[in-house]
Chain A
């Protein structure tokens, strides 16, 4: 690469990502940009996300136009750190275009990564495994109405050092929609049985929201099977829950009705792409899905308040516990983080809402990775 010229390319968010669509530019040609400032908004099949400038310099060329869909690794823009003539920029762009070869589907790993299902006691459970190392496995448990895809920015990173299983709770994703009473004990036992079926003796649990409470329940009932516990914006640590969100999420049958509710999951509502809404609607149309959500919500959020209080049980838990919360969480307030024992590693992430692991993936991944090494 010529001195002082830097290519900015389509990033790869999650192993399954093969292309991205440019939604908006946040800097104009000629602007000085700094490393880490918002540069361009990119839509993937799962989420729209802000891409921060990987370096500082002058934005000399916006190669990709708004609306354009490009493969991972394709040239988005050209930054320069010093004076470079326009002709050199033109030559750089032409050379990049001539030499660029998008990675094939097989190279990207997207083909090999298919969720599996297993039958346990007449119940189908779906999970996705990534990573083949010998270290302690990690089990990722999504929240209310979510599925294993909500870990797309988390799982590939953690899988570099651990076998990582993202699972679908009963009632969710590709798992069976029967949820019995729909309480935490049931959800925790379903996870426990899946771990047993997959011969996972002991795991680090990472749970988000409802999945956080299920992970806590599992850790307190089977402490020998859990090595550490990371909870993201968990249910069970205070009375408040945004019922307008819960009810709106269950009620909406069209993407346009759903959008204002799903936007509440993020500090930056612009991250909600059409594909994300379509995926949720498609899940809600499955036989039994909305009924399952109703049963769970009726139990866990009975009367519009959180029915379970896990906080008093924290002191008795002999497993390392960290809790991460998005400061701008509009579903469960981050004030639930207050007043926990000092043994809990608590982190407040600025600029993130309820989906803290999607919205500030790098930061949350760093916190989880550091915690797993302890």
Chain B
């Protein structure tokens, strides 16, 4: 076991599954890099180097650069999955979902249902989301609630290197289409990650902090911020539980409800735009199934309902921060 970055953890998950199962292939824009140029075929490994080195081990047959047409290559990946391969397709930015949404929404998510369970689509779409990289409003969104809305898709949002490796291996072994959302500001985070293959189940939330005063639910990069807030709150005498649902779909409702019944107070942190996001979904869950346990109104920490700003100062103000989470928890403490 060694310390590995989020980027390395994902690379290792892909490598181990490609070794284990010859049906696993990867495809996407620049996943090999240097398309067609001799001697430079491993120049990129994706825009942020996540798939670097895979083409040298597995070759061009299994690591396929695609033309810049998401509609075409996501569609090809759906077809490949339905006919026996286990593709991991990379949608470079989640913001590009618009140009391939029909392939995901009407094809990948529907095939098993429409064939009466006799077809499967073991497809993983890895995609980068989130603000913080000064990449402006078309490359910074947190659009996972849109995928979460679609029955037939599983939506995974890992919060750390350990989580990313175990959840990605689990995703590749799943027989249903999985949207795997990687926050671009997490790639350089490091922690201890086992060298061996392991899987983390879907629909099983993780307590990253345990405390009896406030339940904070956060996902993806927001888990890190919620942990920071919880640690500061401990020093102020407020004990928080931080719950990382890990998967937006399926959602571990039971763990969230159990925790709210213990604490009676809820803060939900979500980097997605505030209308119809994961936070409103979780708050509705608690309001319908655990209302009588609440000792205070719930609180949501989410960005304002605007595009992600390009101005660095405004972008920093836009994203939920540990300080905002801390203030929200203090507010529900009354």
Residues on A facing B (Cβ under 8 Å)? 67, 174, 253-256, 274, 282, 285-287
Contact = CB atoms under 8 A, between A and B. Distances in A.
A125 to B, nearest CB: 14
B201 A287 contact: no
Contact of A67 (B197, B201, B235): B235
Contact of A254 (B162, B194, B204, B210): B204
Contacts of B207: 255-256
A286 B196 contact: yes
B197 A286 contact: yes
Contacts of B197: 286-287
A286 B194 contact: yes
Contacts of B28: none
A67 B237 CA distance: 10
B234 interface: yes
8 contacts: A174-B194, A174-B196, A253-B204, A255-B207, A274-B210, A282-B194, A285-B199, A286-B198
B166 interface: yes
B85 interface: no
Secondary structure of the A contact surface, majority rule = loop
Contacts, number: 27
Residue among B196, B197, B200 with max Cβ neighbours from chain A (10 Å): B196
Contacts of A253: 201, 204
A149 B131 CA distance: 40
Contacts of B234: 67
B68 interface: no
A283 to B, nearest CB: 9
Query: What are the 5 tightest A-B residue pairs by CB atom distance, in nearest-first order?
Result: A285-B198, A287-B197, A286-B198, A286-B196, A67-B234
Contacts of A274: 210
A103 to B, nearest CB: 20
A20 to B, nearest CB: 16
Contacts of A254: 204
A254 B210 CA distance: 14
B1 interface: yes
Nearest to B199: A285
B1 A174 contact: yes
Contacts of A255: 207
Secondary structure of the B contact surface, majority rule = loop
Contacts of B235: 67
A256 B241 CA distance: 13
Nearest to B258: A256
Interface string B137-180: 00000000000000000000000001000100000000000000
A149 B168 CA distance: 27
Nearest to A284: B198
B204 A287 contact: no
Residue among A174, A253, A285 with max Cβ neighbours from chain B (10 Å): A285
Contacts of A282: 162, 194, 198
Interface string B183-198: 0000000000011111
Nearest to B2: A114
Nearest to A69: B231
Interface in B312-328: none
Interface string B204-227: 100100100000000000000000
Contacts of B196: 174, 286-287
Contacts of B199: 285, 287
Given A282-B194, A285-B166, A285-B200, 5 more contacts: A67-B235, A285-B198, A286-B197, A287-B197, A287-B198
Contacts of A287: 196-199
Contacts of B166: 285
Contacts of A286: 194, 196-198
Nearest to B169: A287
Contacts of B195: 174
A287 B200 CA distance: 11
Contacts of B198: 282, 285-287
A69 to B, nearest CB: 10
Nearest to A68: B235
Nearest to B211: A67
Nearest to A285: B198
A287 B16 CA distance: 11
Interface string B1-12: 100000000000
Contacts of A67: 234-235
A67 B210 CA distance: 12
A19 B204 CA distance: 30
A293 to B, nearest CB: 15
A144 B234 CA distance: 36
Contacts of B162: 282
A285 B195 CA distance: 12
A174 B234 CA distance: 35
B80 to A, nearest CB: 25
Nearest to B192: A282
A285 B235 CA distance: 33
Contacts of B210: 274
B267 to A, nearest CB: 20
Nearest to A126: B1
Nearest to B20: A287
A286 B1 CA distance: 12
B17 to A, nearest CB: 11
Nearest to B235: A67
Interface in B246-291: none
B171 to A, nearest CB: 14
A105 to B, nearest CB: 13
A5 B72 CA distance: 77
A286 to B, nearest CB: 5
A282 B196 CA distance: 11
Residue among B194, B198, B201 with max Cβ neighbours from chain A (10 Å): B198
B154 to A, nearest CB: 18
B16 to A, nearest CB: 9
Contacts of A285: 166, 198-200
A274 B162 CA distance: 17
A285 B165 CA distance: 12
Nearest to A67: B234
Contacts of B1: 174
A5 B234 CA distance: 31
